[in-house]
A and B are shown apart, each in its own frame.
Chain A
Amino acid sequence: MAKIGVFVCWCGSNIAETVDVKRAAETIAKIPGVVYSVDYKYMCSDPGQDMVKNAIKEYNLTGVVVASCSPRMHEKTFRKAASEAGLNPYMLEMANIREHCSWVHDNKEEATQKAIDLIRMMVEKVKRNKPLQNIKIPVTKKALVIGGGVTGIQAALDIAAGGIPVILLEREPSIGGHMSMLDETFPTLDCSQCILTPKMVEVAQNPLVTIMTYSELEKLEGFIGNFKATIKKKARHVNVEECTGCGTCWTKCPTKVTSEFEQGLGIRKAIYIPFPQAIPSRPVIDEANCMKFTQNRCGICAKICPKQCISYDDKEEFIEIEVGSIVVATGYDLMPTSAFGEYGYGKYPDVVTSLQFERMVCASGPTLGDLQRPSDKKKPKTVVFIQCVGSRDPEHHKAYCSKICCMYTAKQTMLYRHKVHDGNAYVFYIDIRSNGKNYEEFLRRAQEENKAQYIRGRVSMVYQDGPDLVVEGADTLTNSQVRIRADLVVLATAMVSPIGVKELAQKLGIGYDQHGFLTEAHPKLRPVESATAGIFLAGCAISPRDIPDSVSEASGAAAKVLGMLSKDELEKEGVVAIVRECSCTGCQNCIRVCPFTAIALKDIRDKAGNLIRQVANVNPGLCTGCGTCTPTCPSRSIDLQGFTDEEIFAEINAMAELH
């Protein structure tokens, strides 16, 4: 026989002003099965919680309803109190008579009646509740970081610093990401390579970090604490253990290819390392261009390699690893500039992207830092920078702001003036966003000391006139048309999610927005978590951001990983789906709709081992209790514990009874 205790909270005057709490408690006391019903000023206070605990013991309560605020506020508090008093925590329910009642009504009579209804519903539910146990899951104390840019590197270093082994996965031949391509960085103008290279070396030398470059995630199975990842190692054709990085092969390789790292402004060979500081400093053969693969001739590199570590027959390899937690730090790409016909990118060689400009001024770039424009190698005397190319343009491109273009454009005007002291730098902008520590001061330096001339307005077109480019646009502050003859035009193109991220997110079972940026579990309160337990996010993979933000998030995500992997077992709520095997037909509806791939088919066999039929089976480690599966089952063969059909039905009936 149920013995239910009901505790009606005043929440000071928050509830008591609109709901007659005394009358509610008295009315509820009359429901069969309710053996104790009181009201109290603050149920969540220590004395309030003690009332619950004492009543559980004194009346041997089998269930408790606390009628107060939203369960989001205090369900944990009261369930903990109940369990301290020896009651299974899932035998306690909350009736929300604040957010759902007193706060949204002003007629006291009606609000009181509604409060009574809400409490009665929970009383009927809790009568049918079943004790549940939290679920314990063992954890693999190892982490995987996907993406070897500065974010991924930092995350790997911080996780390793906590004593947890970590695998750093990068699909390019080297780690480093975009930061390795930059010249100097705002707001301090320190050289990007000089601050990144030590980190790259540190991560490479850390005994707890395994770097896997030229590799991608093929498949992910399992769940929080127990992921099983299949990694595809692309065929490198170079034995990395034997290779010393001597460089004989790439010096002698006759095949020249435009360099991705140099943004198309330089060349590399078909066997190559992307940049001198690459880690690992071991080359790869680019099958698409190597003559051995395209025409079955050449073979020079294999002949001259002193260590004989080149093999053209290498095949891609698949490696399975087990990890407990994952950080996704896949960064960004720039929007393909072919989209901007009006700016003449691709048509006029002297219209370049911001990243190309970084390479043009970089001391390790294709011209070793001697700024020359691509068409005729002339030093540009006038440079026009165009901001928000593709960003903040909901009609044609991306509605969002790429956040950092204002700052790097200001930086690039400075880098330019450091190379060409009497040069003219013009910047077309919509608004200036410089809201970071020392950012506004940095911007002012660009404008005041370095004489960058800022024009507020959009550029309508760029065209070639003899050797020069002509930039036409509007100055919306003076309301006039401007026409500038320029030697070079730099486009601050939108930062977009890199190719393949959606597919990756689908493999991982994490969310992404319409732009392909990964979605946080909560944009404010859980910014480095994905909605899938055990998978964390950091850096530009979430949205455009600068290095300081990316690195902070990397450390944040690492802290989350370490927190999770510091325990031997993880505990999660017992609210998970369960299959009634006797009636399940194995139709797979639930399997297909489960957003967390928590359900799989299970074979039912007879004693002799013959397959009789298949039924659905929920992995409690993966199930988040979202409930998507339950209404999809035609025969109602899958139920959510803690919110079973029977419990919900009792609630509905309790409400419907008196109306």
Chain B
Amino acid sequence: MKEIIEKAKELLSQGTVDLVIGYEQCGDKQCRPLFVQKPEEADKLVFNEFCVHNLATYLTRPEVKQTKRVAIVAKGCDIRAIVNLIIENQSTREHVYIIGMNCPGVVSGKAPNPTKPHTKCQTCKVRTPQMSDVTLGPTPPESIPMDKTITHPDVEELKKKTREEKWAFWREQLSKCIRCYACRQACPMCYCNRCIVDLNTPQWIDTRSNLRGNLDWNIVRAYHLSGRCIDCGECERVCPANIPLMLLNRTLQEEVKEKFDFESGYDLEACPPLTVFEKDDHENFIR
């Protein structure tokens, strides 16, 4: 990936940025985040189908925030997270230099045996990055049109279940959670410096890893992400308990799309609907 290496070297040596966040190869079928502060370290940068991580999650880390300016290697889907972070006052467009990647799609599943392709890629609307300072990589396959409403097959399946079946399904799934909070750590939108689960006066969320505590936690997190989750799939990828977290997230995002005609991360001017107050908000949920 000569282009990225050259770009990173140029940005660092000219002093445009003091940090480049990108990917390096580690093993055949895996990449990992790479933080480059000196031009000579940039040679390790790569971009391929194993670059699945959403690096935007690092933008809210204090060390990254303290930089004068940071460059980030970002796929179109990762840029959705950056858009949200800017809307939510966690970053600014000026602070981030976006090295946008034309993206043929990434793998899903966990190393060492990822299977192709990632479910999010099948519904991708931004194979060509929508907002970047420079766009690299060969022309990608065509994206799904922006105005098309996506329904995920697994969400459709879930919807067919009765209330009781759904409840039983989620109880079973969520009972597996071991409360490692890896989902939260990987999630670019979970940037709170004190998550509600860490609050103990009062302790709204039971921290025990039992069904009750797990329901508290996973439902609250899903709710905090509704209208904000950008479908990167990082939470599900890192979850050691293999909980289908994306099914939960996507169900909520489809709900938000239906109720508010909103998809997050595409428009710097549009705030997540659950975080705004409009005089003419509809009240049809009040029964």
List the interface of chain A (C-beta within 8 A of B): 506, 511, 582-583, 585-589, 592-595, 601, 613-614, 628, 632, 634-637, 645-646, 649-650
Contacts and interface: CB of A to CB of B under 8 A. Distances in A.
A510 to B, nearest CB: 11
B178 to A, nearest CB: 23
Interface in B232-271: 271
A635 B198 CA distance: 9
B206 interface: no
Nearest to B85: A587
A615 B152 CA distance: 37
Interface in B269-287: 271, 274-277, 279
Contacts of B275: 587-589, 592-593, 632
A635 B89 contact: no
Contacts of B48: none
A593 B277 contact: yes
B89 A601 contact: yes
Interface string B194-236: 1110010110100000000000000000001000000000000
Contact of A646 (B194, B195, B202, B224): B202
A650 B89 contact: no
B232 to A, nearest CB: 18
Contact of B224 (A586, A634, A649): A634
A587 B60 CA distance: 12
Contacts of B194: 582-583, 635, 637
8 contacts: A582-B194, A588-B89, A593-B277, A635-B192, A635-B194, A645-B202, A649-B202, A649-B204
A592 B279 contact: no
B191 interface: yes
Contacts of A601: 89
Given A601-B89, A634-B224, A628 B277 contact: yes
A585 B90 contact: yes
Contacts of B276: 592-593
Given A593-B275, A595-B277, A634-B196, A586 B202 contact: no
B271 A592 contact: yes
B236 to A, nearest CB: 20
Contacts of A632: 274-275
A649 B274 CA distance: 24
B193 A585 contact: yes
Question: Which DSSP category, helix, strand, loop or mixed, fits chain B's interface?
Answer: loop
Nearest to A594: B277
Interface string B56-95: 0000000001000000000000000000000011100000
Interface residues of B, number: 21
Given A511-B279, A594-B277, A595-B277, A636 B204 contact: yes
Contacts, number: 59
Contacts of B202: 645-646, 649-650
B199 A636 contact: yes
B89 A587 contact: yes
A588 B89 CA distance: 7
B204 A585 contact: no
A592 B277 contact: yes
Nearest to A582: B194
A595 B279 CA distance: 9
A510 B271 CA distance: 23
B195 A635 contact: yes
Contacts of A650: 202
A587 B191 CA distance: 10
Nearest to B272: A589
Contacts of B191: 585
Given A589-B88, A589-B275, 9 more contacts: A583-B192, A583-B193, A585-B90, A587-B89, A588-B88, A592-B277, A593-B276, A614-B89, A635-B195
B287 to A, nearest CB: 19
A645 B193 contact: no
Contact of A645 (B204, B271, B279): B204
A29 to B, nearest CB: 26
Contacts of B224: 634
A587 to B, nearest CB: 5
A593 B276 CA distance: 5
A650 B193 CA distance: 25
Contacts of A588: 88-89, 275
Closest 7 CB pairs of A and B: A649-B202, A583-B194, A635-B192, A593-B277, A589-B275, A587-B88, A634-B224
B226 to A, nearest CB: 11
B219 to A, nearest CB: 13
B19 to A, nearest CB: 18
Contacts of B274: 632
A628 B199 CA distance: 20
B139 to A, nearest CB: 37
Residue from B193, B194, B202, B276 whose CB has the most chain A CB atoms within 10 Å = B202
Nearest to A586: B89
Nearest to B197: A635
A19 to B, nearest CB: 30
Contact of A585 (B192, B199, B277): B192
Nearest to A587: B88
Nearest to A650: B202
Contact of A636 (B89, B90, B196): B196
Contacts of B277: 592-595, 628
Contacts of A649: 202, 204
Contacts of A592: 271, 275-277
Contacts of B195: 635
A503 to B, nearest CB: 12
A643 to B, nearest CB: 13
B278 to A, nearest CB: 10
Nearest to A595: B277
A104 B90 CA distance: 50
Interface in B175-198: 191-196
Nearest to B280: A514
A634 B195 CA distance: 8
A585 B84 CA distance: 14
Nearest to A589: B275
A650 B204 CA distance: 11
A583 B192 CA distance: 7
A635 B204 CA distance: 11
Nearest to B195: A635
Nearest to A653: B202
Nearest to B189: A634
Contacts of A586: 89-90
A587 B224 CA distance: 13
Contacts of A594: 277
A632 B204 CA distance: 15
B137 to A, nearest CB: 32
Contacts of A506: 279
Given A645-B204, A650-B202, A635 B196 contact: yes
Contacts of B88: 585, 587-589
B81 to A, nearest CB: 14
Given A588-B88, A645-B202, A634 B279 contact: no
A614 B89 CA distance: 8
Contacts of A637: 194
Contacts of A613: 65
Nearest to A505: B279
B205 to A, nearest CB: 10
A592 B274 CA distance: 10
A595 B278 CA distance: 9
A586 B277 CA distance: 17
B285 to A, nearest CB: 15
A593 B65 CA distance: 27
